[in-house]
Structure 1
C-alpha cells in the first residue's frame, strides 16, 4: 500500500508543479489573467486525470506481475539473461524471441556486433480513454515502446542484456506511465528464451535416447545373428571331433582344445561391453585353427599383429565377423582353399585392422546377405562416430580385403561433459 501511494504521490507532485507553472503564466496574461476559474477547473481536471491514470497503471501492473514493487512499476525494464549456448546461437535465439512479439515493428538485427533493436506498438488496453488525445497522461511522447538486446559472449555460454523502455525520453517517466507494457514485453521475451532452451534440451535428450535405442537394437540384432551362427559352428566342430576320435585321436584332442579356447573367449563376454584386439584375435585364431583341422592343407593362416596394438579397444565379434566372411564367402567355396591374412598397423591416431583372403572375391554366388558387415558398420558408428569405419575392397590378385579403422583409445561417453558442466 505504501509503495502504491508513494507512486501516485510522485506523479501527482510532478503534475502539480506543471499546473502551478501554467497558472503563473496564465496570471501574467493581460485581462485573461484576472479570471482564475478557468485555471482552477483545468488544474482540478488535470490532477483528477493524472491520479486516475496512475491508479489504473497500478491496477494493471498488479494484474500482470502479481505484485507491486519498484521493478514492476518502472516504465523501463532491464533483464540479464544467461543462455547456455555460444554467442551466435544465443543471438539467433533472442532474435527469434523478439520477432515473435505481437505488434513488433522495425527490427534491426546485427549479428556480427550481436546487437538487436526493435519498435513495439503499444496495445489499446482500454476501449476509451477520457478526453482522448487531450488527456495529459498521453502527452510528451508516442504510444510506442522500444527493445534493445546485446549479447555478451562467454566461455561456454552467453549473457543477454535486454532493455525494454518507452520511446519517449527518460524525463517523461515523471509524468507518464506505460500501463505495464514494457514489463509485459520483457517477461514475454524471457519466457520465449526459456521455452526455446528447454525445447533444445528436450531434442538433445530425445536424440541421445534414440541413439541409445538404436545401439540396443543393433546389439540385439548381433546377438540374434551370433545365436544363429555359433550353434551351427559348434555342432559342426563337435561332429568333426567325434569322427576324428575314431581315426585320429590326437587331432580330435587338438580340435577340442581350440574349441575350448574359442568358447572361453566367446561365452563370458557380453555384446554390449568392449573387448580388445588381443582378445578378439585369440577368439579368431581359435576359430581358424579348428577350421585348419577340418579343411586340412586347403587353409593357410598368416597373422601380423604387433604386441603393442593388442590392447586396442574393439567391439566384440567385429573381427570374428570379418574372419568368418573370409572363410565362408572366400575360401570354402574354392576347391583349392586359400590363405587368410590378419594384419594390424597404427598410423597417427588410427589403428587399421585388415582381414584379407585370396578366395573368390566379389561374386553374386558367394556374396551372402551382407547382414554381418552392416552390423559391424552400425556398431562402429554408434561407438566411435566418424572416427570408426569399415572398408571392403578387392584384394590383389584375388579375394577381398576388409579393414577396420578405429582410434587407439575409446572416445568419451556422449553427454558426460554436458552433465559435468
Structure 2
C-alpha cells in the first residue's frame, strides 16, 4: 500500500508542478489574474492522471500478483541463464522475441549476440473516449522496445533483457505503460523456459529411443547367436563323436578347438567391449573346427599385427563376418576355398577385413542379410558415424567385408 501511495503521489506531483509552472508562465505573459479556468482544466487533467495511475496499479497486480517498485516500473530488466552455448541461446532468444504479440520490427545480429525489437503497446481498456485529449498520451511514444543481449559463459548463455517505453526516462514521471513492459518481460522469460524444457524433453526422448534401439539390437544379436551356436555345437560334437572311433587324434584336436571357442564365447557385461585379439581367437577356433570337418576344402590365412590385437571391438562382429564367408561363400562351392583375416591401421582408424574366394555376390547375395544388418546397427550404436561396414566383391572371386573403427575407441556397446 505504501509503495502504491507514493507511486500515485509521484505522478500527481509531477503533473501538478508542471501545470503550476504553465499557469505562472501564462499569467506572466498575458498579464491576467483570472486563473480559475486554468485551475478547472488542471483539476480535470489530474482526475484522469489519478485514474490512469490506479488502473496501472490494478493491471500490474493482475499480471505479477504483487505490487512493488520492480513491478510498478515502466522499465523492466531481467537476467536469464540459458543452459546452452551462446549461439544456441541466441537462436532460442531470437525466436522467443519474434513470437511476441504485436511485434513490429526485429533487428538481430548473431555475431554481436544482440536483438532489438519494437512492440506495439496494447490498449487493455479499449480506445479512450478522450482520444488526443487524454493526458496520458501527451508525453512520449505509444510503443515499447526490447533490447536483449547474450553474454557467452562456460557452456551457458546469460541473457540481459530490457523492456522499456520508446521514450526518454523523463516521461516515466508523467506516463504509465499499463504494465505492458512487465507483460513483455514475463512473456519472453516464459517462452525461454518453455523452449528449454521442450529441448530437454526432445533430448530425453532421443536418448530413450537410442537406448531402446540398442536393446533391440542386442536382443537380435542374442537371438542370432542362440540360433547359430546350438546348431554349430551339435554338428561339432557329432563330428567329434564320429572321429573318436576312426581318428582319435583329430577328435581330441577338434574338442580342444571347441573348448577355446567356448572360452572366448562366455557372456560379457552389456557395457563391455571385447578386443580384436579375443574376437580373433574365437574366429580362429571356429575355423580350425571347420577345417577338420571340411578338410582340404578350407584354407585359412591370418595377418593381424600384434599391436592391433588390443583394439576395442564389439563382441560377435568378427565372428559374424567369418560365418558369412563360410556359409555363403565356401560351403556352397564344391572346391571350397580360403578365408583371409587381416587388419591394418590407417591414421586414426583401424580396418579389419574378412575375405573369401567363394561363390561371391552372384550366389551369396549382396550382403544385406540379418547378420550384416545387425553389425551395421551395432556399429552405429557403439561409435555413431565414426565406424562403418563395407562389403565388396573380392578379386578374382568371393567377397570382402571390412569393419572400420576408430583407433582409440572410448565408446561402449
> Which category describes the TM-score, using the shorter chain as reference length?
over 0.9
Name the SS for the 1:184 alignment partner.
Answer: helix
- Structure 2 CA distance for partners of 1:369 and 1:156, relative to 1, 3 Å: closer
- Aligned mates of 1:165, 1:134 — CA distance in 2: 24
C-alpha distance in structure 2 between counterparts of 1:375 and 1:273, whole Å: 18
Aligned residue in 2 for 1:283: 282
Q: Which residue does 1:24 correspond to in 2? A: 24
Match of 2:141 in 1: 142
Say if 1:296 and 1:165 are closer, same or farther in 2 by CA, change over 3 A: same
Q: Check whether the contact 1:388–1:405 (CA below 8 A) recurs between aligned residues.
A: yes
**Alignment-derived partner of residue 249 in structure 1:** 248
**TM-score w.r.t. length of structure 2:** 0.95
For residues 57-72 of structure 1, what are the structure 2 equivalents within 5 Å? 57-72=56-71
**Cross-structure match for 1:163:** 162
Q: Is the 8 A contact 1:329 1:368 kept in 2?
A: no
- Structure 1 partner of 2:212: 213
- Which residue pairs with 2:12 in the alignment? 12
Deviations 1:219-239 (A, max 9, x none): 111111111111111111111
Mapping of 1:96-245 within 5 angstroms?
Answer: 96-127=95-126, 129=128, 131-245=130-244
| Counterpart-to-counterpart distance in 1, 2:166 and 2:153 | 30
- 1:143, CA displacement in angstroms? 1.8
8 Å CA contact 1:219–1:272 kept in 2: the answer is: no
Query: Per the alignment, do residues 77 and 412 of structure 1 end up closer, same or farther by CA in structure 2, a change over 3 Å counting?
Result: farther
* Distance (Å, rounded) in 2 between the aligned partners of 1:289 and 1:162: 72
| Gap regions ≥5 residues in structure 1 | 415-421
The superposition leaves residues 265-296 of structure 1 with CA deviations (integer Å, 9 ceiling, x where unpaired) of: 21333565311111111111110111011011
Residue 35 of structure 1: how far off its partner (Å): 1.6
Is this contact kept in 2: 1:271–1:316, CA < 8 A?
no
> C-alpha offsets along residues 34-61 of structure 1, whole Å, 9 cap, x if unaligned?
2232122122222222222212111111
Q: CA deviation at 1:66?
A: 0.9
Distance across 2 between alignment mates of 1:66 and 1:144 = 24
With over 3 angstroms needed to count, the CA separation of the structure-2 counterparts of 1:413 and 1:182, relative to structure 1, is farther
Alpha-carbon separation, structure 2, partners of 1:93 and 1:369: 42
For the residues of structure 1 that align with 2:99 and 2:18, how far apart are their CA atoms? Answer: 40
1:54 and 2:26 aligned:
no
Residues 92-149 of structure 1: CA deviation (Å, up to 9, x unaligned): 2222111111111122233333322222111111136463432222211232111122
Residue ranges of structure 2 left out of the alignment (5+ in a row): none
Q: Per the alignment, do residues 77 and 35 of structure 1 end up closer, same or farther by CA in structure 2, a change over 3 Å counting? A: same
Match of 2:149, SS state, is strand
Residue-pair matches, total: 413
Question: Which deviates more, 122-131 or 56-65?
Answer: 122-131
CA–CA distance in structure 2, aligned partners of residues 186 and 297 of structure 1: 82
RMSD: 1.9
Out of 70-79 and 178-187, give the one that drifted further.
70-79
Greater alpha carbon shift after TM alignment, 156-165 vs 247-256: 156-165
Over residues 11-42 of structure 1, what are the superposed CA-to-partner deviations in whole Å (9 max), with x where a residue is unaligned?
111111112112212322546x2223212212
Give TM-score scaled by structure 1 length: 0.93
1:321-353 alpha-carbon deviations (Å, 9 max, x no partner): 011111111111122221111111222211111
Question: Displacement of 1:203 after TM fit?
Answer: 1.0
